[in-house]
Each structure stands twice: as C-alpha cells, then as structure tokens.
C-alpha cells in the first residue's frame, strides 16, 4: 500500500518534469529547433491538426527551419498557421518549401524568456510539491484507518520527501540549462 502511494507520487513528479520540458521547448532560443513549432495547429480539411502531422520540419541552418507540407495545397494553410502562432515568426514560401527564419534575440527578449522559463520552473516545482502533499495526505489516511503504524508513516514520508528533493533538483537543472541556452549569443 505504501509502495503504491510512493510509486504514484513518483509518476506524477515524472509527468511534471515532462510537462516542464515541453514548456521549455516552446520557449525559443536564437537557434532553430523543430520542437519550436510543436504547438502550431494547422486547419487540415476543417480540423485543427498538429503541424508535424501534415508536414516535414527540418533545420536548414542554425537560424532557419524548413517546413515542407506533404500536400502542395497545404502550403498557404501552413504558412498562415505559423504566422498566427504566438511565436513571433515570419515564414517565407519558396515553391513547396516554407522557410522560417529565427529572429535574433535582443537582450530584452532574452530576459523576458528567462522570466518565462523561471515561471514555468516554479510551476514545475509546485506540481512536484502537490504530488508530495497528496502522497502525505494518503499516508495520513492510512494511519487514521490503522492500516500502518506511525513509524511506517514517518519512513514513507521521508521517502516521499527524498523523491520531492530529487525532482525539484531536476527542475533546477532543467532551468539552469535553459537559462544558459537563452543567454548564448
């Protein structure tokens, strides 16, 4: 029973890290990376579809992405979807290939992105702590129903705290990597 609670807490903490990583991928750096366009939705025959489901996304050079729709008639739709996204990108079309240049980041935009990354990291830490809180509440319920002893509960809470510390430090490492990435020129 205790092991199930700890396993569930660890699973939730792992999902928090994955969500944070996804959020960090959406914060663009000066370099071109296909995951920047992961959040772009294209109107594909009337239904919103992820861009990577209707086109190949590649890296042309360090500052340019290439998007090649699988159907030629999707080129204007894809270009419109990239423009409408909140990423601040201006694609240009050359035949069936859409080039998406990554604008240079100014010092001000870098600091804004770092603030955004810190907010995302704080959300990740809160999510990890929420998993800890829920696990500890379940342990308290077990002690109330006399399914476990106080010593078992204390040991389990220590284990959950160790998990929490581990995942919070992972969040810090991810944030540090993202900050370094953003400050590179």
The ranges assigned to domains in the chain are 2-26+106-183, 34-101
Domains 2-26+106-183 and 34-101 share a fold: no
Please check whether the domain covering 34-101 is classified as CATH 3.90.1150.10: no
Q: Considering the entire predicted model, what is its pTM? A: 0.71
State how far the Cα of 130 lies from the Cα of 127, in Å rounded to an integer. 5
What pLDDT was estimated at residue 44?
84
What pLDDT was estimated at residue 185?
61
What pLDDT was estimated at residue 124?
93
What pLDDT was estimated at residue 65?
87
Query: Which residues of the chain register pLDDT less than 50?
Result: none
Q: How far apart are the first and last CA of the chain?
A: 51
| DSSP three-state, residue 70 | coil
- CATH number for region 2-26+106-183: 1.10.132.20
List C-alpha distances in Å: 6 to 19, 59, 123, 125, 130: 20, 41, 21, 18, 13
């Amino acid at each position: 029973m205790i092991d199930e609670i700890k396993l569930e807490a660890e699973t939730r903490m792992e999902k928090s890290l994955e969500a944070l990583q996804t959020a960090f991928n959406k914060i663009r750096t000066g370099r071109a990376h296909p995951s920047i366009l992961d959040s772009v939705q294209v109107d594909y025959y009337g239904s919103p579809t992820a861009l990577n489901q209707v086109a190949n996304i590649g890296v042309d050079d360090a500052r340019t992405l290439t998007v090649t729709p699988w159907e030629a008639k999707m080129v204007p739709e894809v270009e419109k979807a990239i423009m409408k996204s909140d990423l601040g990108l201006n694609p240009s079309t050359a035949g069936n290939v859409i080039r998406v240049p990554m604008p240079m980041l100014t010092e001000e935009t870098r600091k804004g992105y770092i603030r955004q990354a810190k907010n995302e990291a704080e959300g990740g830490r809160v999510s990890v702590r929420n998993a800890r809180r829920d696990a500890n509440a379940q342990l308290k319920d077990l002690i109330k129903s006399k399914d476990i002893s106080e010593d078992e509960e204390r040991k389990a809470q220590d284990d959950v705290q160790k998990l929490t510390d581990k995942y919070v430090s992972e969040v810090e490492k991810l944030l540090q990597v993202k900050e370094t990435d953003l400050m590179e020129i």
